[in-house]
Amino acid sequence: MCWLTLSKIHLPRVVAAMSFIAVQGCVISTDLPDYKATLPKVADQWSSQETSNVDKSTVFAVSQTWFTPDFHQKVSEFIVEGIKNNPELKSARARLEQQISQYNAAESALFPTIDLSGDASRTKSSSKGLSGERIKSYENSFKAEARISWEIDVWGRLEAESQASYSALLQRQSDVEFAELSVATRIVLQWIELIALAQQLDISRQEKSNLIEVVERTQDRYQQGIGSILDLRLVETDLANADATLTSKLNEQLQATRKLELILGRYPSGKIKSAKEFPKIVTDFSAGIPSDLLVHRPDLLVAEQKIIAAHHNLNASEANRLPRLSLTQSTSYQNRKLSDIFDPYSLVASIAGNIIQPIYDGGQRRAVIAQNKAIEDEKISEYVNTALKAFDEVENYLGNEIHLKKQEEELSRAALMAEQGQNLSREKYYSGLIPILDLLQAQQRFFVSKSRLINIQKQRLLSRVNLYLALGGHNTPLQKSVQSDQALSEDNRNL
């Protein structure tokens, strides 16, 4: 360490000398690695997309509506409420505010610090006079001082640390965006779940109603001596099971309603009423192109900023091995009288330059550099892994679009045929042409087919919403519904 006390040199000359040294220095700054080059070759289009032949220039034109508009009107109020009140989102925003403060603190290291201080003291002393009496005396001292300290960022160490903090800030911003996107999709997913449960409840009620009618008919047949007690016990057993199923479905609906209320930030009272019908899926859509994912998915943007932050930390650790230059200038006034404290003859000024050159630290700085380089490599690998998972999610959900649509068509036919079979079985049983077991089996087959159809329709809708999340929400209309809270219909306020 070498201290240079420059008491006879003016401050501008010292600043000019330090600036000359800084200009002569070479800022440590290595090129950011081409982390996208480590990705496997990204396809020009999604392999699982039905509409892969859509012209890329019209991709966004055909993807403006994925569901019927009335569905968005019904859930838009919930989305606005959830984004405003969801506790997880509030935590994410608070973490963003913390990171903003940390970035401001890191950036402040690039500027000089100025401190003002004041000091006042009174000293009492006593002495013995010629006649032996005690003589008291007092001495006052007043001091005012201004100190300026500045570390000159010759090698770019402080700038690199500031840039690393800024990358962390961008990560938090992407976290908030992803949290908002996640809350919006969770609300829609839960709303679809509620609609499915409402339809399953209708099936359970219909099944119970049919069984009550069959029990009554079977009781009449038994009393007339046409039917057996076994037939009566069989239908009564199915009726009791239907009652238990209905009770279970009611409990599931209540729990699902409370879950939606928790997402909205409400007290879980279970008072939200669901819609009765599923939204219609608009099949003419496009998921864009795979490369869009790299600039729209919040988790990929976070992974990208982690690489950039690690790179800046690596630059900072390399610059930490080089000399540090700092400048300190202090000006103080000191006088025995407070009224004369700013007297020019009371001025004391000093200027000092500080140069610190690390010589030996047992390899600590070299180890930190190696560690930061390994962290940078780790973040690149994490980015590649995150990107591959993102591509896989989109491909899977696009594949679901094809397979679930086909299953829905097949189950629709099965449910129609099962309904016809149930109606024929009821007529034949009431006419005494078939046994009770044939009717019960036909009824069970019908209600199972209806339930499976509802589940497939729900899965197809959930897959479409999850595809929206997997694409980063950049080309779907749910994002618009969040921004259109002023255009909500009056009917939605009663939901």
Q: Does residue 487 register a pLDDT over 50?
A: no
In a domain, 96, yes or no: yes
CA atoms within 13 A on the CB side of 218: 25
In a domain, 268, yes or no: yes
pLDDT of residue 262: 94
Identify whether the C-beta of residue 400 lies closer than 8 Å to the C-beta of residue 414: no
pLDDT tens-digit map of 111-128 = 888 888 888 887 877 777
The tokens for 208 are: 């119970």
Q: How many CB atoms lie within 10 A of CB 97?
A: 10
DSSP helix/strand/coil, 177: helix
Q: What band does 10 get if pLDDT is binned at 50, 70 and 90?
A: very low
**Could you tell me which residue, 133 or 406, shows the higher pLDDT?**
406
Residue 286's alpha-carbon distances to 245, 396, 491, in angstroms, are: 40, 15, 32
Percent of residues, the chain, with pLDDT higher than 90: 35
Q: In this structure, which amino acid lies at residue 38?
A: T
Percent of residues, the chain, with pLDDT higher than 70: 81
Q: In this structure, which amino acid lies at residue 376?
A: E
The tokens for 206 are: 């219909």
- Closest CA relative to residue 399, chosen from 478, 475, 473, 459: 459
pLDDT tens-digit map of 15-56 = 444 444 444 445 566 788 888 888 888 877 877 765 434 333
Q: What band does 259 get if pLDDT is binned at 50, 70 and 90?
A: very high
Mean pLDDT, rounded, for 373-381: 94
Mean pLDDT, rounded, for 486-492: 37
What total number of domains does the chain contain? Answer: 1
The tokens for 85 are: 């009140």
Q: Does residue 493 register a pLDDT over 70?
A: no
Q: How many CB atoms lie within 10 A of CB 56?
A: 11
Q: What band does 11 get if pLDDT is binned at 50, 70 and 90?
A: very low
DSSP helix/strand/coil, 261: helix
In a domain, 393, yes or no: yes
Q: Does residue 310 register a pLDDT over 70?
A: yes
Identify whether the C-beta of residue 83 lies closer than 8 Å to the C-beta of residue 89: yes
Identify whether the C-beta of residue 250 lies closer than 8 Å to the C-beta of residue 201: yes
| CA–CA separation, 328 and 318 (whole Å) | 25
108-117, 162-171, 225-234, 277-286: lowest mean pLDDT where? 277-286
Q: How many CB atoms lie within 10 A of CB 132?
A: 6
pLDDT of residue 72: 63
Identify whether the C-beta of residue 456 lies closer than 8 Å to the C-beta of residue 414: no
Q: Does residue 279 register a pLDDT over 70?
A: yes
**Could you tell me which residue, 17 or 88, shows the higher pLDDT?**
88
In a domain, 454, yes or no: no
Residues composing the chain: 495
**Could you tell me which residue, 67 or 393, shows the higher pLDDT?**
393
Q: Measured in Å, how far apart are the chain's first and last C-alpha atoms? A: 73
Mean pLDDT, rounded, for 86-98: 93
CA atoms within 13 A on the CB side of 243: 7
DSSP state of 281: B
Q: Does residue 408 register a pLDDT over 70?
A: yes
Q: Does residue 425 register a pLDDT over 50?
A: yes
Q: Does residue 14 register a pLDDT over 60?
A: no
Identify whether the C-beta of residue 164 lies closer than 8 Å to the C-beta of residue 316: yes
Mean pLDDT, rounded, for 263-292: 82
pLDDT of residue 51: 45
| CA–CA separation, 271 and 257 (whole Å) | 7
| CA–CA separation, 459 and 456 (whole Å) | 5
Q: Beta 113-128 vs 347-356: how paired, if at all?
A: unpaired
**Look-up: residue for tokens 């009288």?**
337
Identify whether the C-beta of residue 150 lies closer than 8 Å to the C-beta of residue 109: no
- Closest CA relative to residue 110, chosen from 153, 149, 148: 153
In a domain, 381, yes or no: yes
Output the average pLDDT for the chain. 80
Q: Is 472 left (phi over 0), alpha (psi -120 to 50) or beta?
A: left
As a whole number of Å, the CA-based R_g of the chain is: 38
Domain containing residue 187: 2-28+42-121+138-207+255-413+474-486
pLDDT tens-digit map of 316-340 = 999 888 888 888 888 877 777 766 6
Q: Which burial class, exposed, middle or buried, applies to 270 when counting CB atoms under 10 A from its CB (0-12, 13-18, 19+)?
A: middle
The tokens for 477 are: 């209309």
| CA–CA separation, 439 and 10 (whole Å) | 107
The tokens for 129 are: 């006079």
In a domain, 427, yes or no: no
Identify whether the C-beta of residue 437 lies closer than 8 Å to the C-beta of residue 167: no
Q: In sequence order, which residues have a C-beta less than 8 Å from that of residue 376 and are 6 or more positions away? A: 33, 307, 310, 311, 314
| CA–CA separation, 37 and 194 (whole Å) | 45
Q: How many CB atoms lie within 10 A of CB 442?
A: 21
In a domain, 20, yes or no: yes
What is the enclosing helix (H) or strand (E) of 476?
none
Most confidently modeled of 133-147, 425-439, 447-461?
447-461
**Could you tell me which residue, 268 or 32, shows the higher pLDDT?**
268
pLDDT of residue 429: 84
Q: Does residue 383 register a pLDDT over 90?
A: yes
Mean pLDDT, rounded, for 432-439: 88
Q: What band does 489 get if pLDDT is binned at 50, 70 and 90?
A: very low
In a domain, 424, yes or no: no
Q: Does residue 2 register a pLDDT over 50?
A: no
pLDDT of residue 115: 84
- Closest CA relative to residue 206, chosen from 428, 426, 443, 437: 443
| CA–CA separation, 438 and 47 (whole Å) | 47
> What CATH number does the domain containing 259 carry?
1.20.1600.10
Identify whether the C-beta of residue 330 lies closer than 8 Å to the C-beta of residue 145: yes
pLDDT of residue 303: 92
Identify whether the C-beta of residue 253 lies closer than 8 Å to the C-beta of residue 194: yes
pLDDT of residue 339: 67
pLDDT of residue 221: 83
pLDDT of residue 71: 65
